[in-house]
Amino acid sequence: MQLRSWPLVAGLACIPIAGVSAQAPPCVDSGPKWELQPIPPAASWHAFHQLFLVNPCDDGVIGEAFSDFVVHKLATGWSSLPVLARLVASDTAFGAFVIQHIDGTTDEGELRRVAHMASERCPPGEALLCERISTAAKAALRDAQPN
């Protein structure tokens, strides 16, 4: 399977500066302070959480890149689920963001693997997160099916 290049919006404009409003800049800003860089497939859940905290954009190619990262990370790095679970427990908005990005724009084989792992290999104490992941993956597979 060949992975898509995963762009992300990053730059100084995303980071709050002392004395400046902490409100995120609008996503429509396409000035030179924004640049597209790949999300490394090996990036950690901690790095992805930091990106969530500073990046105001979540649509179009950026949103698809987030979805690709989430599904690929779950499909190929299931052993890191306890790290994700700790982040989700401390930041419920991040948890919703991750679940939202388990969607039909991603690789169908990886979605199937995520649904299987969430149903069959859930770590102890993570049943609720696994259920949310499984439900989202199954819905994404249904949505990806031609009508």
Report pLDDT digits (tens) over 24-61: 455 654 443 444 566 787 799 999 999 999 887 888 88
Mean pLDDT, the chain, integer: 80
Counting residues of the chain whose pLDDT is more than 90, the rounded percentage is 61
Placement of tokens 């989430």 in the chain: 70
Closest CA to 143 of 117, 121, 116, 111: 111
Q: Is residue 131 part of a domain?
A: yes
Percentage of the residues of the chain whose pLDDT score is greater than 70: 73
Overall domain count for the chain: 1
Instruction: Determine the average pLDDT of the residues in 56-85.
Output: 93
pLDDT higher than 60, residue 84: yes
Instruction: For 113-141, write each residue's pLDDT tens digit.
Output: 999 999 999 999 999 999 999 999 999 99
Report the first-to-last Cα separation within the chain, whole angstroms. 25
Classify residue 103 by burial, with Cβ atoms within 10 Å: 0-12, 13-18, 19+: buried
In this prediction the pTM is 0.78
CA atoms of 123 and 33, how far apart (whole Å): 41
Tokens of 136: 């989202």
Residue 15 lies in a domain: no
**Within a domain: residue 90?**
yes
**What domain range is 123 assigned to?**
44-144
Other Cβ atoms closer than 10 A to 111: 24
